[in-house]
């Protein structure tokens, strides 16, 4: 139901997604949606909300738990790719601030700030323990996010969104080694 809407929003963007098409995709009548959602805006907000909640929950469970910053980063990359696999384009709104022609609203913007702060904290830990290069933690977090977004976009355009495990591994190694101190 929400997922039908997500599909159409992703396909067409917010403005070009019509209620009629969403209804058809969900095999409901047009009016039925208005028993569940106040408006098109409300529908969009709820779709986004579900995905963000899901991501935040998994982030807290899989990433924040870990003591070792390198493990945490590794888990974060895995999570990002997993979420991407489930929600493709849609969660770009969360990571890139705008997508599908819609802007994030207050609540989600705040969640995103929290997420970024948490990632920065992981970097701060890593630097302190001598595991990562000396970098401003916030800037490091920005770099990490940017790289992951770029790979998501790249594969979205080039491999139909399904990179081989092989490529995923190389990507992961490439990204992680941008931050880890090198021993030579």
Partner DNA sequence: CATGAATGAGGTTTCATTCAT
Partner DNA sequence: TATGAATGAAACCTCATTCAT
Which residue reads 């770009």 in tokens?
A: 92
Please list every residue from 98 through 117 that binds a copy of itself, using CB under 8 A: 98-102
Give the C-alpha separation, 23 to 1, whole Å.
9
Q: Where are the alpha helices (DSSP H) in the chain?
A: 2-16, 19-26, 30-33, 40-58, 69-87, 92-96, 106-128, 137-158, 165-176
Name the minimum Å distance from CB 30 to DNA.
4
Report the site for a copy of itself in 114-173 (rule: CB under 8 A). Answer: 133, 135-136, 139-140, 142-143, 145-151, 153-154, 156-157, 170-171
Contact of 127 with 49, CB cutoff 8 Å: no
- Burial category of 182 from C-beta neighbours within 10 Å (exposed 0-12, middle 13-18, buried 19 and up): exposed
Stretch that binds a copy of itself, among 26-34, 52-60, 78-86, 176-184 (CB under 8 A): 176-184
Instruction: Identify which of residues 39 and 174 has a Cβ nearer to DNA in the complex.
Output: 39
Interface with a copy of itself, residue 19, by CB under 8 A: no
Residue 148 near residue 80, CB atoms below 8 Å: yes
Residue 133 binds what, of a copy of itself, DNA, none (CB under 5 to 8 Å, by partner type)?
a copy of itself
In the complex, minimum distance from the CB of residue 44 to DNA, in angstroms, rounded to a whole number: 10
What's the closest the beta carbon of residue 97 comes to a copy of itself, in angstroms? 6
> 39 or 114, CB closer to DNA?
39
Contacts (Cβ under 8 Å, ≥6 apart) of 6 = 47, 51, 87, 90
**Tokens coding 129:** 């323990």
Q: Which residues bind a copy of itself (CB under 8 A)?
A: 13-16, 96-102, 133, 135-136, 139-140, 142-143, 145-151, 153-154, 156-157, 170-171, 174-175, 177-178, 182, 184
């Amino acid at each position: 139901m929400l997922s039908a809407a997500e599909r159409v929003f992703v396909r067409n963007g917010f403005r070009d997604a019509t209620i009629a098409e969403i209804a058809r995709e969900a095999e409901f009548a047009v009016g039925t949606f208005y028993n569940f959602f106040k408006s098109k805006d409300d529908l969009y907000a709820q779709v986004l909300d579900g995905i963000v909640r899901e991501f935040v929950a998994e982030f807290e469970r899989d990433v924040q738990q870990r003591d070792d910053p390198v493990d945490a980063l590794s888990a974060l990359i895995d999570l990002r790719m997993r979420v991407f696999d489930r929600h493709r384009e849609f969660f770009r709104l969360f990571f890139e601030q705008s997508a599908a022609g819609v802007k994030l609203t207050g609540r989600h913007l705040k969640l995103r700030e929290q997420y970024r702060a948490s990632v920065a904290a992981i970097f701060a830990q890593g630097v302190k323990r001598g595991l990562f290069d000396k970098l401003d933690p916030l800037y490091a977090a920005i770099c990490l996010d940017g790289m992951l977004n770029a790979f998501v976009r790249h594969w979205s355009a080039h491999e139909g969104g399904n990179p081989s495990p092989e490529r995923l591994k190389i990507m992961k190694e490439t990204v992680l080694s941008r931050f880890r101190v090198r021993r030579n």
